[in-house]
């Protein structure tokens, strides 16, 4: 049995962010500090966003990877839905991975904000 999670392109849940019960719950969790980046050794990578003449090529950091997804860190935002090629060093070669951005946000940590860090979740193709 495999435990592979499929990511939907469509959000099916509607959330009322002004609901008093939800606001109360969110206030209780504001001070929580979760750090999942420590379980994966960050790796310097190179990414290409888009295709053709309009593509952008930049340095980035791979902060997490599994069979179906990647999380990359950049110093600039990337739009949801963008196609991204990730060039990952593999010994003397380079492994090219393709993905689509399913979520993107600015970093929450104080050092992330000071360094204009953005995190992007990519579904591998």
- Tokens coding 12: 């099916």
Domain positions in the chain are 34-124
CA distance 21 to 7: 28
Superfamily for domain range 34-124: predicted glycosyltransferase like domains (2.40.10.220)
User: Whole-prediction pTM value?
Assistant: 0.67
pLDDT tens, 2-12? 666 666 666 67
Q: What is the DSSP track for 110-124?
A: HHHHHTT-EEEEEEE
CA 71 to chain centre: 4
For CA atoms 75, 77, 122, 29, give the dihedral sign.
positive
Question: 16: pLDDT confidence band, cut at 50, 70 and 90?
Answer: confident
3-state secondary structure of 26: helix
């Amino acid at each position: 049995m495999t435990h592979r999670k499929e990511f939907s392109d469509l959000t099916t849940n509607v959330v009322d962010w002004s609901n008093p019960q939800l606001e109360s719950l969110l206030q209780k969790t504001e001070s929580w500090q979760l750090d999942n980046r420590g379980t994966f050794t960050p790796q310097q990578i190179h990414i290409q966003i888009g295709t053709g003449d309009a593509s952008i090529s930049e340095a980035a950091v791979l902060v997490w990877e599994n069979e179906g997804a990647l999380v990359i860190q950049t110093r600039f935002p990337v739009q949801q839905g963008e196609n991204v090629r990730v060039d990952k060093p593999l010994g003397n070669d380079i492994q090219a991975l393709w993905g689509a951005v399913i979520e993107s946000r600015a970093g929450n940590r104080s050092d992330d904000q000071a360094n204009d860090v953005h995190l992007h979740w990519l579904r591998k193709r």
